[in-house]
Amino acid sequence: MDPLSDVLRAFRLTGGVFLDARFTAPWCVATRLSAEDCKKYMTDPLLLIAYHFVVEGRLLISVKGEPAIEVRAGEVVLLPRNDLHVLGSGYGLDPVSALDLIRPSDSGGLARVSHGGGGEATHIVCGFLGSQDPFNPVIAALPSILKLDVREGASGEWIDASVRFAANELTRGKLASSGVMSRLSELLFVETVRHYATTSDNPDAAWLKGLSDPRVGRALALMHGDMCASWSAEALAREVSMSRSAFVQRFTSLIGMPPIRYLTLWRLQAAKSQLRESQKTIGQLAYSVGYESEEAFSRAFKREFGLPPARWRDQQVAQ
């Protein structure tokens, strides 16, 4: 059992590759994933994760306010919150819009970019993961940029070979199955998050470390798989074959709060995202995140965020 994969599966992530980009130094582009880039795979995703796999060469990547990170051949870089980012061959270059450089493939394969000054070559393939669920606590716990050498780890050589094979086939207009690319995209994401969770000293990674525990991770997967279920500490403890007291203690030590407190916060964060993104009534929204009555939901929301949900939504619209 892989708790991290189980939790991510509960978020119903769909992935794919949409662009084959080849650059020669000097070059620099600014880009951000759009729903249009993903239209072959899904319609109007509410959450997007961008990633770039470097097939050949090297690049620098940065988001506003953070230092640039170098990414070399065999490494993948992910942007968990799909921030606007700059890719380039070096420092101090003025970026152009990547959108203006994209050209459709004559063979019906991936869209392409070919750009630069004729120097050192860099070849990347660009992909995404998307979801119709607007809130994802895994994403909330991650930094703006994550990097992974896909050759690391027990299955690193297999992952590297799979990604390179897929990239080669895609650039030739083959391997059109979205299912294949979705699984590869999810694999890259899972391995990158796993690496971050096990190596980071960031206290925000504590939630992710909890996923490495088979029983706590299983409980998280159950809650995220059906947040509307009438979960109790006793029910979750039974599902993971522990006593209630031992389960609550273990969950709290790893996640930083008791399981039902965690479930309440996740439901309310999911509700907050839906208040921003949807036109559901407060009653509809309450039911969709596991509350049996609008009144109970409104009380819980106000207790956590200081305003009733209707007023909170009005405040967001006015900003």
Q: Tens digits of per-residue pLDDT, 115-169?
A: 999 999 999 989 888 887 666 667 777 889 999 887 776 566 766 777 777 766 6
Please name the residue that has the structure tokens 């380039």: 88
Given this model, what pLDDT does residue 203 score? 65
Coil, helix or strand for 125? Answer: strand
Residue 250 vs residue 133, higher pLDDT: 250
Please list, in sequence order, all residues whose beta carbon lies within 8 angstroms of the beta carbon of residue 128, skipping any fewer than 6 positions away. Answer: 15, 16, 18, 33, 37, 38, 41, 48, 49, 50, 51, 185
Angle at 45 between CA 47 and CA 165, to 5 degrees: 85
CA pair distance 40, 44, nearest whole angstrom? 11
Given this model, what pLDDT does residue 8 score? 67
Predicted structure pTM score:
0.73
Domain 213-318 is of which CATH architecture?
Orthogonal Bundle (1.10)
Which stretches of the chain are DSSP H helices? 3-10, 137-140, 156-171, 178-199, 206-210, 214-225, 233-239, 244-255, 259-277, 282-288, 294-305, 309-318
Report CA 36 to chain centroid distance, whole Å.
18
Question: Above 50 in pLDDT, residue 212?
Answer: yes
Question: Above 70 in pLDDT, residue 51?
Answer: yes
Q: Is 67 exposed, middle or buried (0-12, 13-18, 19+ CB in 10 A)?
A: exposed
Tell me how far CA of residue 224 lies from CA of 233, 234, 251, 307, 319, in angstroms: 15, 17, 15, 25, 31
Superfamily of domain 3-205: Jelly Rolls (2.60.120.10)
Residue 26 preceded by cis peptide, ω within 30? yes
Bridge partners of 28, per DSSP, are: 88
Q: Tens digits of per-residue pLDDT, 164-200?
A: 777 666 656 555 455 666 777 877 888 888 788 777 7
The domains of the chain are located at 3-205, 213-318
Q: Tens digits of per-residue pLDDT, 90-102?
A: 999 999 999 999 9
